[in-house]
Structures are given as C-alpha cells and as structure tokens.
Structure 1
Amino acid sequence: MNLKELSTILGLSQTTVSRALNGYPEVSEETRIKVQKAAEKHNYRPNTKARSLATGRSMAIGHVIPVSTKHEMVNPIFGDFISGAGEVYSKHGYDMVLTVVEDKGEEAAYRQMQSRGSVDGVVVHGPLTTEPRIDFLRKIGLPFAVHGRASGENSDYNWVDINNRRAFHRATDFLLDLGHRRIAFINGLEYMDFAYRRREGFIEAMTERGVAYDPALMFSNEMTEDYGYETAMTLLRGENAPTAFLVSSMICALGVRRAIEDLNMKMGRDVSIITHDDVLSYMPNGKDLPIFTSTRSSVRQAGSLVAETLLAQIADPLRKPQHQLLEAELMVGQSTGPVKA
C-alpha cells in the first residue's frame, strides 16, 4: 500500500497523513492516532528515502559509543536500552546509526553527523557529573536527549533518569532496619552521575539514622563480576568484616555472591546483599522469588522513553525540554536477612 491509497481510505489529504505519521505538531492528537492505527491495520510502511526528501530529515538517530572499557554504559545493559529505543524508532520510521569511536573522538563524531546531516538527533549515554557533551551538542545545533542526568549542569535539556539517590537511600534504610551497621558499599565509577547520586543516597541514609559510615568500606570502580568478587573476598577475610553489601550492579553482585559461597557462608543468612537490578532480559533475577533483594528499574523502558522524548523534540524544535524521573521499586528477595547475633 502506498501513501495515496492510505489517504483515500482515511478520507484525508496525503499531506495530512504524511504529517501525522511524521509527528508534526500541527496535526491533532486524534488525527495522529487515527492515521497510525490505519497504517498498522493496512501494513503501510513509508518509503524512507521519499520520507526523508519530503521532511528534510535523515530519519535516523545517532548513538556514539566510546571504545574504552572505563565507561559504565559499555556493558551488556546497553543491549536492553537499545532494544527499547529501537522499537520506538521503528514505529516512527527511524533508523539507528551506531558509531564506535576512540574516547577522544566523540565530539568529532557528533560534528561529522551534524555537518553531513546523517542523523536528526543523538542520545547521550553515561553522563558524567560535569558533562561537556551537553553544551557542545547545543552549540552545534544537534538535538539530543540524555539517558541520565549531569549534576553539575544547570542548563535545561531533555533527560530520562531513575531516582538513584532515593533508590539507594531506601536500600540502605532496609539494611539498617534489619540491624546491619557494617555495610560495605560497592559502587560504580563515581565521576559518572548515576554512581555519584547512589553514593549520596547511601551516605544520607546512614547519617539520618545516626550510623557512622566507614570510608574503608566504600569502593568505586568499573562494575565487573571480578571487582565484586575480589572486593568482597578481601573484606570478608579481614577483621571486623561487613555484615551486608550494597552493590550498584547485578553483574557486580554476582561476584559478591561467589565470594560468600567460596568462604562457605550463606547469602541472606551470614551476609546480606542488596543490588541494583536493571531488569535485564538475558539475566533475570530469579523466576518466582527474586534471588537478590534489589532496587529494580527497567532499562528497556528507559530506552523507549529517551527515544520518544528525542523524537518529540525533533518534531517540534521549539518544544520545552522534557524531564522524566523514574522511581525504582525495592524488591525483597533471598539475599537479605537480619544481622547475625
């Protein structure tokens, strides 16, 4: 089916149908929904080249990925984010351009995308607490949305984030309620904003409850299974070992669990763990009963919301930047229990 045939079925002009499918703001929401439903019903798929010529857009969104392993979003979690975003792009007739660059090549990649007109906008991943990409993208005029936030950035921009500070505040409170006082905090790289906010949540909860946190039990590194294992082994073999671990990644928590088992202890009885769970499609946290007590948030949903936010900005450049702060659930699993007497 072509555009003319779909327009005839709907009793609308080809221009109106085209604008509805491309998200133009002057088309009413009622008309847009009507057109999208008809397009799905009749399996209409717009010609990408023709659509690009008609709209003056490339009909593509860019994702620039640095190759360094010292970057918290270059991990398996990225796949679920891309899946969520990709579904939205496909629904709106957009392609995805994935560019892998050296760490110092990000700005050049963005500038090349903008000068060539190869993308209509980009998604910024893994924001730092002080994030230079935000100002740079604004200066070169390339629309963007950020997965996360930058604490040191005072200007307004599109972002979707989870409430990391509140999530880890609640997790710390939960461990304190169980009687734990020696809590080890195994975090990600704290120049990255999500890790900085999680650290603040942990410290706030401990301070509010009048419990002194021990800097010797607080760690920051790239969140790998080995990092979790080696850190936990060192702490649990030492004097005055922690009775609980608060961990920033399911992958890292698996390492902590391995260390507990290698020392012939039982998770949830001898040592408790709370981790952050990104609800990964390839790594479920148990089936009926969660293995880990966790602060749970869907990274796939975050991908969808970031994509929707960016496409709305592209459709209406004068649109006020949008912010979405997602709350994480605290799911009680088998990895936590009262502190041992």
Structure 2
Amino acid sequence: MAVNLKQLAELLGLSQTTVSRALNGYPEVNAETRQRVLQAVRETGYRPNRAAQRLATGKAYSIGMVMPIAPGIDSDVHFGEFLAGLAEEAVKHDFHFVLNPSAPEDEEVTFRRLAASGNVDALFLAYMRANDPRIAMLKSLSIPFVVHGRSIGESRDYPFLDIDNTSAFYDATRLLIQLGHQRIALINGPEYLAFSIRRKKGMLRALAEHGLSLDEALVQHSLMTDEHGYRSMQPFLQHAQPPTAVLCSSTVLALGAVRAINQAGLKIGEDISLIAHDDVLPMLKPENFSIPLTTTRSSLRAAGARIATRLIGGILKRGDYPEQELWRAELIVRASTGPAPQK
C-alpha cells in the first residue's frame, strides 16, 4: 500500500514541510535531501495529494494543450510521436496533461477557457501557420507557453522550439543538384502550415542559386500519409517530363511515393532519386526501406521532450533555458540518391 506524506516524512526522518518542499522543487532544499526524498518516493510508490499540493503551492502540475480535430489531424502519427516525447518527460516530474480537443474555428475560445480554468500551469501550441493569430492570443493570457514551430510574417518575440526547415530542404536540394538533377519534384505537407512553406522556400533558394526553377506541376501539398504520398507521386511519373528526383516532407509520404515508383518499374537511386524528412518515427526507419532513404533528420520525440523540460522547468523555477531554439536537421546520405540518369 502506498504511503501518505506523514508516513514518508517519518520514514526519512524529515519534517512533512521539508519533504513537501523537496518534491515541489524549492531551492532551499539541498540536492542530497531532494535525491533521498525522490528515491523514497520511487521505493514506496508515494503519490502527492493533488488537491492539498495545489492549495499549498498554487500549482496544478499540469500542461495544457489544444488538439485540433479535423480530417487527418486527429490520427496524425507525427503528432503522436511528439506527444510521446512530451509524456516521457512529464512522467519524470509527475506532471499531467490536460488535453482539450477543439474544432479549428473554436481553438481560441478553447485556449482561453483552458488558461482561465486553473487546471494547467502552462500551454503549448503546435501546427503553426503563416501570420498565426494564436500567437497574439496566447501572449494576451497570463500563463506561460512554448510554441512548437514558428509563425511566418510575425515578430518572433515569443518562446519557441523549431527545426530549420528552410536549411534542411536547401541542403537536400543542393545535394540533388550536385548529383546532376534539374527536374526535382516536391511532395509537401499542407500548404498553409509554416514548416511546409519554409521547406519549399529552402528548395526554391537552392534551385535559384543554380539557375534552375521549380515546375509547379511537380509540387503537391497534402496531409502526410502514405496514401497521399502514393497519389502525389503517380501523376509526377506520368508527366511528359517526369522528375529525376523527389523531395518528401515525411518518411510516411515517402512510403507511398516509393510504392508508386516501384509500381512504375523504376529503380530508386538509379532511375529516380528520393530524399525524405525523417522525424525519427520508430515504426518507419529510413534505413529499413528496400532502398535505404537519404534523409534530413530531426527527432519529433526529442522536440516533445525538450518542450516539456522547458515548460516544467519554468513552472518549478528550475534551470535556465533559452527562450528560442532553432535546431539544425542532419542530412544523412544513403542509397536512395544517385547521379541523375543520362538521357
């Protein structure tokens, strides 16, 4: 049977106040005592009384998020992987989630209600768009928040964690150009999302530097599923001047693109090259494709864990974290890229 606070304090030979302060991260409790308390918590299965803890500290020990419910979003494996990282870090600190589903048109109301409820100590925001109005709305609330991604066309005076999507697809496109490719296709995420806009921007920049342009007939924006990857790739291959290379915004999209390429009887890495962005999804490793994929890599799970660390650190007044972080994606060359085929 799990012990209560009084029993835990007696077991450790400490006062209940000291144990409570150790669990709540008060700086006057030294590191050795805090570690003793945490070890005893693990061994005894102690769980704090949330109601009493909230009265004592004014904290809910919860992170709030609004999950937009729309076709394709509620079953997005990418969002699930991000939440897994967030959850792994939250569990370490005995933090909870308050997850509010919301129709896109009701998001602002849902965020305001969540912030005013007192049930969360901080919020996080995802699925960033160009000129995203939710940034100003969150800044108007008296609650900490961190954004996963960045808006476009807004001042950047808000806390965020993002990957450098522009540089990632610039580097990927430049590699293809160095291999002799000139007709390069793009299978991207939804057109209104900021990461999609930046990835296309990076591609366009690399092409322009080499006097090349992007044929808009070779661009598709869609939800990031394997079926959409398949449907996007098929018309590219049937084009009068098909591409010799393709960039995919996800390994999930690439899974469908590879299926279309194989059905067309083409050899990846020889007849057509392919580069995908790898979010490090555990069930879809690029090295396990029939032809290992060249990728730009940045872990969504790691991003989720980092945002949880920043939010929880801010709530508990622990650590000193940067307000804004821009992670560089790693370009990993494998067998799916090769020289452009000779005419």
TM-score (norm 2): 0.88
2:23 aligned residue: 21
Q: Does 1:324 align with 2:325?
A: yes
Unaligned runs of 5+ in 2: none
Q: Distance in 2 between matches of 1:278 and 1:23?
A: 33
Tell me how far 1:48 sits from its aligned partner: 2.7
Tell me how far 1:183 sits from its aligned partner: 0.5
**Is the contact made by 1:46 and 1:93 (CA closer than 8 Å) also made in structure 2?**
no
2:230 aligned residue: 229
Q: Distance in 2 between matches of 1:25 and 1:329?
A: 38
Q: Distance in 2 between matches of 1:23 and 1:33?
A: 11
1:67 aligned residue: 69
2:217 aligned residue: 216
Tell me how far 1:252 sits from its aligned partner: 1.2
Percent identical pairs in the alignment equals 43
Equivalenced residues, count = 340
1:271 aligned residue: 272
Tell me how far 1:268 sits from its aligned partner: 1.4
Q: Distance in 1 between matches of 2:40 and 2:34?
A: 10
Letter in structure 2 aligned against 1:226: E
1:51 aligned residue: 53
How does 1:152-301 map onto structure 2 within 5 Å?
A: 152-287=153-288, 291-301=292-302
Question: Are the structure 2 counterparts of residues 134 and 23 from structure 1 closer, same or farther at C-alpha, using a change threshold of 3 Å?
Answer: farther
Question: Are the structure 2 counterparts of residues 289 and 295 from structure 1 closer, same or farther at C-alpha, using a change threshold of 3 Å?
Answer: farther
Q: Distance in 1 between matches of 2:12 and 2:84?
A: 32
**Is the contact made by 1:21 and 1:92 (CA closer than 8 Å) also made in structure 2?**
no
Tell me how far 1:198 sits from its aligned partner: 0.9
Tell me how far 1:182 sits from its aligned partner: 0.7
Secondary structure (helix, strand or coil) at the match of 1:200 reads helix
Deviations 1:226-255, CA, capped at 9 Å, x for gaps: 332222211211211100001111111112
Question: Are the structure 2 counterparts of residues 20 and 154 from structure 1 closer, same or farther at C-alpha, using a change threshold of 3 Å?
Answer: farther
Deviations 1:286-323, CA, capped at 9 Å, x for gaps: 34997211111111111100111112222349x88622
Tell me how far 1:163 sits from its aligned partner: 1.5
Q: Distance in 1 between matches of 2:186 and 2:322?
A: 34
Secondary structure (helix, strand or coil) at the match of 1:151 reads coil
1:102 aligned residue: 103
Letter in structure 2 aligned against 1:96: F
Tell me how far 1:36 sits from its aligned partner: 4.1
1:79 aligned residue: 80
**Is the contact made by 2:66 and 2:101 (CA closer than 8 Å) also made in structure 1?**
yes
Secondary structure (helix, strand or coil) at the match of 2:113 reads helix
Tell me how far 1:142 sits from its aligned partner: 2.6
Question: Are the structure 2 counterparts of residues 31 and 273 from structure 1 closer, same or farther at C-alpha, using a change threshold of 3 Å?
Answer: farther
Deviations 1:15-66, CA, capped at 9 Å, x for gaps: 4543343344666677656654564466544333332222112222122111
2:122 aligned residue: 121
TM-score (norm 1): 0.88
Question: Are the structure 2 counterparts of residues 33 and 181 from structure 1 closer, same or farther at C-alpha, using a change threshold of 3 Å?
Answer: farther
Q: Distance in 2 between matches of 1:47 and 1:293?
A: 50
Question: Are the structure 2 counterparts of residues 49 and 259 from structure 1 closer, same or farther at C-alpha, using a change threshold of 3 Å?
Answer: same
Q: Distance in 1 between matches of 2:43 and 2:162?
A: 34
Secondary structure (helix, strand or coil) at the match of 2:139 reads helix
Secondary structure (helix, strand or coil) at the match of 2:199 reads helix
Deviations 1:56-113, CA, capped at 9 Å, x for gaps: 1222212211111265x85111111111111221111211122212121212212222
Q: Distance in 1 between matches of 2:271 and 2:46?
A: 59
Question: Are the structure 2 counterparts of residues 316 and 102 from structure 1 closer, same or farther at C-alpha, using a change threshold of 3 Å?
Answer: same
Question: Are the structure 2 counterparts of residues 194 and 36 from structure 1 closer, same or farther at C-alpha, using a change threshold of 3 Å?
Answer: farther
Q: Distance in 2 between matches of 1:119 and 1:312?
A: 14
**Is the contact made by 1:279 and 1:297 (CA closer than 8 Å) also made in structure 2?**
yes
Q: Distance in 2 between matches of 1:290 and 1:19?
A: 55
The CA RMSD over aligned residues, in Å, is: 2.8
**Is the contact made by 2:286 and 2:294 (CA closer than 8 Å) also made in structure 1?**
no
1:132 aligned residue: 133
Question: Are the structure 2 counterparts of residues 330 and 113 from structure 1 closer, same or farther at C-alpha, using a change threshold of 3 Å?
Answer: same
**Is the contact made by 2:310 and 2:321 (CA closer than 8 Å) also made in structure 1?**
no
Secondary structure (helix, strand or coil) at the match of 2:140 reads helix
Question: Are the structure 2 counterparts of residues 328 and 23 from structure 1 closer, same or farther at C-alpha, using a change threshold of 3 Å?
Answer: farther
Q: Distance in 2 between matches of 1:60 and 1:237?
A: 51
2:149 aligned residue: 148
Question: Are the structure 2 counterparts of residues 64 and 74 from structure 1 closer, same or farther at C-alpha, using a change threshold of 3 Å?
Answer: farther
Question: Are the structure 2 counterparts of residues 42 and 229 from structure 1 closer, same or farther at C-alpha, using a change threshold of 3 Å?
Answer: same
| 273-282 or 284-293: bigger deviation | 284-293
Secondary structure (helix, strand or coil) at the match of 1:219 reads strand
**Is the contact made by 1:187 and 1:195 (CA closer than 8 Å) also made in structure 2?**
yes
Q: Distance in 2 between matches of 1:113 and 1:303?
A: 20
**Is the contact made by 2:252 and 2:284 (CA closer than 8 Å) also made in structure 1?**
no
Q: Distance in 2 between matches of 1:12 and 1:36?
A: 13
